[in-house]
A and B are shown apart, each in its own frame.
Chain A
């Protein structure tokens, strides 16, 4: 199936740990994104990569580091996890930066719980 897939879907971890979330899209899109949805369901962009190049880097703590090994993959690594990092993280893609006018295709989200 053509899609944006994220793994894992659920992640429970202790404070201070380091964890990664993986994202892959097989839509042939050039641009990928990470969004954070907080406990109030508000969605906010964190990062955007266009053909492996970082385009958007919102005010996100340095503990969050995205990595794009190729244009089909965008991973999110989080160091020294804190309670406030608990949220749902969505990966998304669009055909290209200019093609974002067609809307994004979203993954199913990763619910991260820090205890």
Chain B
């Protein structure tokens, strides 16, 4: 079974600064996908960024980038030039690839979440 761990329950950052959210995961699969989702106070789950495990290059989406360390099973999210609108709960999530079998197939497993507050 897969597990996803976010060890930082809460983080805060000043507007315009950079913050990094940590995530580690445990799996025996070799092919999988990792995600960061954002949940603002509106409750909507928003996909922020996606990483394919077989790609060594770290994914980037504008101010959001990841540091993917496959051997260490680590997948951190870096938010640059933080904005007030980045205030939200952030979830790291894992899903095995289509070539993996077992009971985890198609199941997106989430970490516990990190509450990020951006201060003006």
* Chain A interface residues (CB < 8 Å from chain B): 31, 33, 40-45, 48, 50, 55-56, 88, 90, 92, 94, 97-106, 108-109, 111
Contact = CB atoms under 8 A, between A and B. Distances in A.
A105 B45 CA distance: 8
Contacts of B52: 101
B43 A88 contact: yes
Best-buried of A41, A88, A99 by chain B (most CB within 10 Å) = A41
B44 interface: yes
Given A41-B89, A101-B95, A55 B106 contact: yes
B50 A48 contact: no
B16 interface: no
A101 B33 contact: yes
A88 B89 CA distance: 15
Contacts of B33: 101, 103
6 contacts: A31-B106, A44-B110, A50-B106, A88-B43, A98-B98, A101-B97
Best-buried of B35, B39, B42 by chain A (most CB within 10 Å) = B39
B91 A43 contact: yes
Interface of A is mostly: strand
B11 interface: no
Given A45-B107, A56-B106, 13 more contacts: A31-B106, A41-B113, A42-B113, A43-B110, A45-B109, A48-B107, A56-B103, A92-B108, A97-B105, A100-B106, A103-B33, A103-B35, A103-B47
Contact of B44 (A42, A48, A108): A108
